[in-house]
Amino acid sequence: MSLIYRRKANEPSLTHFLYDYYGEIAPFVKRIDRKWLIPPLVALKTIEWSIYRWYRTPIRRFYGVKGNELIFMITRRCNDRCPKCGIWEHPEPVSQHMPVAHFLNCLNRLHENLYQVTLTGGEPFTYAEDVILIAREARKLNVPMVVVTNGVLITESVLRVYHELRHILVISVDTMDKDRWRLFRGRNHFDLVMNNIRLARAILGKSLRIQSVLARESEADIPAVKAYCEAHDISHNVQPYMDFGGHWNSAGKVQAANFACAARKNICIYPNGDVVKCFDHHRIPLAKEPLGNIAKEDIITILCKKRATEVSKIMKTCNFPCKQLACNIPTVTYNP
Ligand SMILES: C[S@@+](CC[C@H](N)C(=O)[O-])C[C@H]1O[C@@H](n2cnc3c(N)ncnc32)[C@H](O)[C@@H]1O
Ligand code: SF4
Ligand code: SF4
């Protein structure tokens, strides 16, 4: 017998609890619009956190009501050829486009757990009809939606419907220089996208946002994008360059931030319906294989698998630079 108390290697420490609590509460606080509601809501959230901390139901990975973000890469197909991004290089064949009904079903099953549904790609508006169907369903279920787009395919009629549904549109812009635009996007459509941005600002108002990627190639251009946004009262955010299979370079060493990665709250769906917990899952050995496929299985069944719980647990302390992507840092994205 030893008098030395041995802590098991996998036994959680006090720092682990604090880290877990902070990782839970910090993103929650960021989503509260009205500051005076912070103390009572944090108290309620703390009670909820304590229950789910100790009460191990298979569904505890759903961090309470409206705690998750559902992110759908609706397609890998894209009309642009950005060198920063390699997604367009591997488009799914048109014949393999998943019927939108599977995603609508998934949204219906999960809506009570969702604070937001996000559509990304490829270019989401390649499937504009599906985008609008999802936007309508999300509104019916009272789930705020964000679509991230290159801004090329949006039309006045789509924008008007989108505005009625009160969702948020993010347009990607990395330069205000027409010549460099062609280099950055592989296409010569600066004027078209800038017209679409003006139209979107006029129709959507503050529900239009602009996002830029900070890389060595774009860092000199971003101040002009920021200035444009300020001049037109458009909210602007910058996310660091990551490896999306593209050919740009980081602007500097991306420091892994000192907070738990919020991606563990994400439920991510690939164009073929495969489900993962974050689009960088290939970095986590246990998460390399998808957890299931929404065209074949119910999403709740998929998320209740033991491996899903294990992956969520690993993600709590996962520390890759991808935790700094905008989609992995929940912020207030919606004001009803
Ligand atoms: C992959 S795109 C898909 C949506 C749409 N095609 C667009 O460009 O907005 C989603 C967001 O990721 C950004 N992005 C693309 N390549 C990136 C990279 N290598 N690192 C970080 N963000 C990137 C885009 O600028 C865009 O804001
Ligand atoms: S960043 Fe967006 S617009 Fe550019 S190639 Fe990738 S998916 Fe297409
Ligand atoms: S740090 Fe990257 S790989 Fe790890 S959970 Fe976050 S997004 Fe996924």
The pLDDT value recorded for residue 12 is 55
Which ligand has its closest atom nearest to the C-alpha of 78?
2
Which ligand has its closest atom nearest to the C-alpha of 124?
1
Q: Among 255, 258, 280, which residue has the most ligand 3 atoms within 8 Å of its CB, making it the best to mutate?
A: 280
Ligand 1 centroid to Cα of residue 149, in Å, is 8
Q: Among 71, 120, 255, 328, which residue has the most ligand 3 atoms within 8 Å of its CB, making it the best to mutate?
A: 328
The pLDDT value recorded for residue 1 is 39
328 C-beta closer than 6 A to ligand 3:
yes
Ligand 1 centroid to Cα of residue 304, in Å, is 30
Cα 65 from Cα 63, distance rounded (Å):
7
In sequence order, what are the residues at sequence separation of 6 or more whose Cβ sits closer than 8 angstroms to the Cβ of residue 277? 263, 264, 266, 267, 268, 287, 291, 308, 311, 312, 315
Q: How far is CA 3 from CA 6, 7, 8, 266, in A?
A: 9, 12, 15, 44
Residue whose C-alpha is closest to residue 328's, from 292, 281, 272? 281
Q: Among 120, 242, 254, which residue has the most ligand 1 atoms within 8 Å of its CB, making it the best to mutate?
A: 120
The pLDDT value recorded for residue 259 is 67
Which ligand has its closest atom nearest to the C-alpha of 249?
1
The pLDDT value recorded for residue 5 is 41
The pLDDT value recorded for residue 53 is 67
pLDDT tens-digit readout, 267-310: 999 999 999 999 999 899 999 999 999 999 999 889 988 898 88
The pLDDT value recorded for residue 8 is 47
Total count of residues recorded for the chain: 336
75 C-beta closer than 6 A to ligand 2:
no
Low-confidence ranges of the chain (pLDDT < 70): 1-13, 16, 52-65, 253-259, 327-336
- The pTM assigned to this predicted structure is 0.84
pLDDT tens-digit readout, 99-137: 999 999 999 999 988 999 999 999 999 999 999 999 999
Which ligand has its closest atom nearest to the C-alpha of 264?
3
The pLDDT value recorded for residue 62 is 53
The pLDDT value recorded for residue 9 is 44
311 C-beta closer than 6 A to ligand 3:
no
Burial class (CB in 10 A: 0-12, 13-18, 19+), 37: exposed
246 C-beta closer than 6 A to ligand 2:
no
Ligand 2 centroid to Cα of residue 48, in Å, is 39
* DSSP letter string, 189-231: -HHHHHHHHHHHHHHHGGGEEEEEEEBTTTTTTHHHHHHHHHH
The pLDDT value recorded for residue 320 is 85
